[in-house]
Structures are given as C-alpha cells and as structure tokens.
Structure 1
Amino acid sequence: MKTFLAEIMKRFRSTDTQFALMQYSNTFQLHFDFMEYRRSHDADHLVWRIKQLQGTTYTATAMRKVVRELFTSGRGARDEATKVLIVITDGNKYGDPLSYSDAIPEAERAGIVRYAIGVGEAFSSDTAQQELQEIASEPTNEHVFRVDNFDTLQGIQSQLQEKIFTCKGSPDAMNMSLGFSLAAQGSQFLHSFWQLQRIQDTQPECPRHVTDIALLVDGSGSIAPVDFGKMKTFLAEIMKRFRSTDTQFALMQYSNKFELHFDFMQYRRSHDPDHLVSRIEQLQGTTYTATAMRKVVRELFTSGRGARDEATKVLIVITDGNKFGDPLSYSDAIPEAERAGIVRYAIGVGEAFSSDTAQQELQEIASEPTNEHVFRVDNFDTLQGIQSQLQEKIFTCKVMEFGYICATETCGKVHNTHKQPFKYNSKKAKEC
C-alpha cells in the first residue's frame, strides 16, 4: 500500500496538486499535511517512514478529522483548490463511535470529492459494498473501487488518476488527502502490508493504458523560426507529461515535404523528449496537411514502426494555417484514419484561424465531436497553455483498461453498465 501511495503522488507531479496523508485505526496519525508536502515533494521519502498503527477501524471518525483538521489553511490547503479525499480500507468500520451520517454531510458542505477503495474479500458482501458507497461521493459507481488484494492495488492507479482529471477538469490547483486503514482483519492483511513495504520502485507495475500518439507538425515557411522553436518546446513538454503512463510517441514534420524525425520504436529506445526534438530543423515550403495525415496513417501507425495493436491510437496535428497546394483533400485522408480507429486532435495556431473557413478546416481534421478535439491559440507563446487540457482529453477519451467501465471525453459520462462498484480484474486487464 505504501508503494501505491507513493506512485499515486508521483502521477500528479506535473500538475499543481498537493497531498496530505493520515493513517487511522482506532487511533489517528497525520504523517504529513499539505504544507509539509509542498516543502518536500519527495513521495518515496514521505511514505517510507510510515509505521502501521494496528487496532480497530474508525473510518467515520477519521473522515471527520480530515475534513475538520486537514483541509484548513493552517495545514496548507488552498481555498481555490479542488478538494479530494481518497479513503483506502480493508474492511468495514468497527467500534467507531460515529456513523457516516456524522461525517459525510460535513465533507459535502466543504465541497470535498470522496473516493473509496476497498481491498480484499471483506468487500465481497452487499453490506460491505454498501459501506464503500456511503463513503464515496455520488454517483457511487464512479467513485468506488474494489480490488481483490494488495498486490492488485497498483492496477487502479490509471483509473483513479483519470477519474480525478475527468470530473474536475484541469487540476491546476488541487488539495488531495489520502486516508488509509490497515486495521487487523487477520494475518493475511498484515503480511501483505509488510511485504509491500519491501517492493522497490523498479518492480514492474500492473497493466496501464497503452497509447501510441503521433505528433504531426507544420514546418511550412509561414512559421517564423523563433515560433518553430517554441513549438519544439511544446512538443517536448507534452511528451514529458505522459512519462508515468504506457505511452509511445512518434513525430513527423511536414510542409510540401515530409520528414519522420522519430517513430514509436525510436522513442521507446530513447525516452528523452528534449534530445529527440532538439535536433529538428524546420523544413520550410507550403502546407500539405491532408497528404501528411495520410502518410502518418499508412506509414507510421504500423508494427514495423513500433505501433502496438492493442494501443489507443492518437494523432495530434499542429498547424498555423490552411493547407495550400496539397494534391489531396481531407476526404482522401480522413476515412482511412477513421477506419484505423485513430482519434484526431487539431491545434490551430495564429490569426489565420480567426476566419470561419479556416476554423472549418480544423473541424475537418479533428474527430467528432469537433468541439472536444479542436484547439485554437492566438500565437506560439500561448501554445503552452493548452498542455493540461490536451493531456486531460487524451486520458479521458481512452476506454478504461480494466473491468467494464468506459469513459467518454466529457465529464459525467462515465458509465458502468453493471451498476456495481469497480472491481479490478487481472484477467480482463490482459484482454484489453
């Protein structure tokens, strides 16, 4: 569990997210608050010193303590931040003098979004599942997770991160409190706890989302060299944002000429975005966007270039103007991309896209619904400002890799067709 806690914190490193952590049984220990996290930012150091409390399970009392004592300015919580509470427990509350009706209304008045993670066989009964639903925010099918044991806890990291991103938009300011209990429910859980303490960061993680992203960038002569440099910085930063996920990148530049700078296989060997983009030089020329898109579909999303059959395929097209002189139309390229299942994002940079005609071209490039797949920025200086939004949409649009939950790109459209709490299923994970 300590490994899981550290990995969750690492996943939000590139965002303005603060963490605090409290452990509970029938006693309570605050291991670090938001202020201490801000000073350290070292997830491994913060969790490695934690010792298990032992005792019974006062979940409702612990939740009220977090609301009253942790989400405060004195503890470093920020007024403007989205507030998230993640409760991890291996069993029903026991001996607690408070009921959830004593704790939940206070959390709701404070605007705290609550996630419940139940670990182990104790949550196989309807009564225990009902308790998880009491802990979690509505709708409970989007805020409750169940895993069979502590070994499979790592497998829900991507889903948890995704849900927090999806329902709250860009987490530019977030306070997140992690509360957990390992109250003795039998020696199996205690053994699992001490076993997890010894797991190193080098251990392979459970399966994550598998994504291949092709970056198709305009290098035509209408882009000033200084702006082309800013675009290169943007490309490197986008790749860095996906470091903690199973995402591969490839990059092709186009004008009326085409240059593949690296494919998925080369990215896998390097994984150094700054090195990969620093050597790129602008092509100059005119703008063959449709031809470039068809080349990416036919020549880049292939196993020979390192693309993976099981991966979600994403194409991001960045251009500063309408295509010009291109022998192909979008109707020659888009159907092939759609048949290949490629999700397409269009980013238009500059004044050229202020006209209705130019905006229509971005909509032709992008997947439906276009309002969720098209970005417009005024200049290359403001290109950096859409990084979080783009990352969010890509995270959200992918089908979740475990169980039966599928997420669309719009918050609030996460569906669980079985209307049951999410349960990690290692067999299903391998099939995705």
Structure 2
Amino acid sequence: MSDLINNYKNFLNNGKTERECAKQIIELAEKNGYKDLTSVSSVKPGDKVYIQKMNKAVALFELGTEPLEKGLNVLGAHIDSPRLDIKQNPLYEKDFVVYLNTHYYGGIKKYQWVAMPLALHGVICTKDGKTVNVCLGEDESEPVFVISDILPHLAQKQMKETASDFIPGENLDLIVGSENPVKDSKEKEAAKKNILKLLKEKYGIEEEDFGSAELEVVPAGKSRDLGLDRSLILAYGQDDRSCAFTSAQALFDSKAGKKTLCCLCVDKEEIGSVGATGMASHFFENAVAELVARTENGFSELTVRRCLANCSMLSSDVNAAYDPMNADLFDKNNASFLGGGIVFNKYTGSRGKSGASDANPEFIAALRKVLDENSVKYQMAELGKVDQGGGGTIAYLAAKYGMNVLDAGVSVLSMHAPWEITSRFDIEQAYEAYKAFLTL
C-alpha cells in the first residue's frame, strides 16, 4: 500500500484547488483508458468515459453489461476545501505594506490562518482569451505570503474577545510586498506600483485582470508523515480529497461487471454545493443523460430517471475523528477513531438530524456483507454529540433522486484547519472499501 499512500500525498501536493484536483483526475483517467464522453458518439459495455464541467467537476463512468436504467454504483466526493479567496479588487497599499484583500471560503477558524506561510494558486483570465495559471509559494525558491497578527505585548484587548471575533474577516489580508518608507516617501503608492510591475513581468497581467481571476490562498508546503511511527498524515485539504483520491483510484483499479461504475467529484460542497459545479446543480443528471443518449437505444428521459433512482451511492466524505483532548464533544461509543478504518455515517445533519441524509438499513446491511467478505475494516459513527452541532455532505442531494446513499469516508482530526490529520491505515481501508462497494 506504500504506492497508494505516496500517490495520495502527491495528489494532495499537486491538488490544492478544485481545478488542480480535476486536472489530475482527468490525467489519471486518460492514462487508464478513459475518453472524453463529448468526443464519442456511442458507448457499449466495457467503455470508459469521463465528462467535466468548468474544469472543477468530473464524472467518470465504466459501462457494465446491464441497461443503465438498472442504476449505477456511484462513489461521490467533493474536491473543494476551506481556504481564502482573493477579492476582485484586491490590491492595495497601506503605509508602505502591500496587501491582497481576501474573502474566506467555507467554515474556517480565522485565527488559524494568521502568521503562517501561505501560497497563491489559481487562474487569471484576460480579455484577449488568455488563461494564466498561478502557483506561487510552493517551491523553496519562491516567496511565500502571510497574514500578520498582533504581538502579545499589545494584544490585551484582542485576547478578551471571542475566538470568532478577535480577527475580523476583513483583516485576513495577505501581505505581498513592502517598500522602504524613507526611500519611497515622495512617490505615492510606490510599493503597490512595484508589485504591479512584478506581476506584469511574470504573468503579463494588469491590475484590472484581477476582476476575472480565481485565486485561492492555501497553506504553503507539502504533505508530511506525522509521528515517529509515521502512522499519520499531515496535509492541507484532506477534507475531502482523501475520499476523492481513493474513490477515483478504486474505480481505476476495478472492472465493471453487470453494473456501470461511476466516480463523481464535485465542487462547492464547503459552501452548500451551490453553483454550476456543485452537487445541487444538474451536472450529474446531465452527465447521465449524455451517457444514456450514446447507448444503443438512445436518449429517454424515463431511462435517465430510472437510472438515477436505481443507483447505489457512497457519499465519500470525511468524518470528525475522536479527539482525546476534547473528549466531552463526542459520544465515545458512536465516535470514529483514527486507525479504525473507513467510517460510515447512517445519518448526518445538525442536532435533530436537520438537513440530514438518513440511509436505509437494507443498504447498510448489504454493504456490511461485502466489506466483511473482503476483510475491510470499518466503523459506524456520528460527527459528535447531538447538541454540539453537526454537518452535512452531498448525500442528501443525491438522495433526492430516490437512490440509496450512505456517507462513507476517512476520519479527520483538526478538520477544516489549514493542516489536517488522517491515518495511513484509514486511507488504505477507504480505498479497499470503495473497491468492494463497486462489486455490489
């Protein structure tokens, strides 16, 4: 399994945005014989195809021998992660320090993002149709960026405020440059002009091009083995790329029998699965329709609806790992543990299961059977104690079609922090579980 873990860590290192993840998944798919669905006119059993949306969502299919209306076995994950996004008019100078203005994306603790090295990833699109790829701060020879914090000597007022308030969102601005106040005091915004000059030289862009950019601020650095025994992995974005990678790899290493197999990787889960690339869009439905249209019998809306309703899906998403330092937040008998294997959540949601997807026990029993037959280690769990809060996944959006859906993923400690912790064993068991599920 060492190859799996090494490939996983490389995937994380090269996939710190949803675009970078989608690109890697498509490249891996093509190496495994998958073709762009839009480039083929017909499909038959054994064919491998993919379709993508806006470079941020991907659906992969390997066709089985059964008619599509019998449903698919689907592994569904999301490839976006909490981060900071650069605003559309971001660049400004304040007292000889140059900043990029940000807007945080997803559920973060703002104080975790200050005083640590950060990198810039994304694209800048210009009016002449050029797309400029940006990746700054990952190579040791490159500069990094940072959000400054108040020194403890002057932080008496800050330390009295609540954790959600002592660093306002508008203060999460990225330092990208500075100038000597004595040297440049006679020239207005000399530091900002210098940064614009450097951007022009490196990327050929003007300040106005930030208006059509998609730039993300992420922790700088590579994933690392954690612990003297190397049993854990420390990395950014393991929610939910740990499940996206293992789902895709499980599909590549499987062979369709009767059922058509699918791996679905979508965007925007961290902000409600919205937009054209989120699970709440029609991307998956449209992808299935395109697949049906290329079968021998041609397009039928009834076939599409029957296909979606008859699917079995694992919503491949992470769960909170039991934290011994904060044990009072968990019902220990219903918690997931690092090293306990893949985690199944019968239901998600908040408090009284608000916003939950609640899986049918018949589906869970069938899954337990195939996992036991394949000696896969798994655990059943909830996110935390009932009154502590909760969370959701893409499961409820898939369930609206009438399919069987169960949340299944990896335990994560420090979830949504810039650096998250998982178990190597759990990554391996997730991969094995996803492969076993595809045989149902």
Give the TM bin, normalised by the shorter chain. under 0.3
- Which protein has the bigger helix share? 1
TM-score norm. by structure 1 comes to: 0.21
TM, length-normalised to structure 2: 0.20
Question: Which protein, 1 or 2, shows the higher relative CO under an 8 Å CA cutoff with sep ≥ 6?
Answer: 2
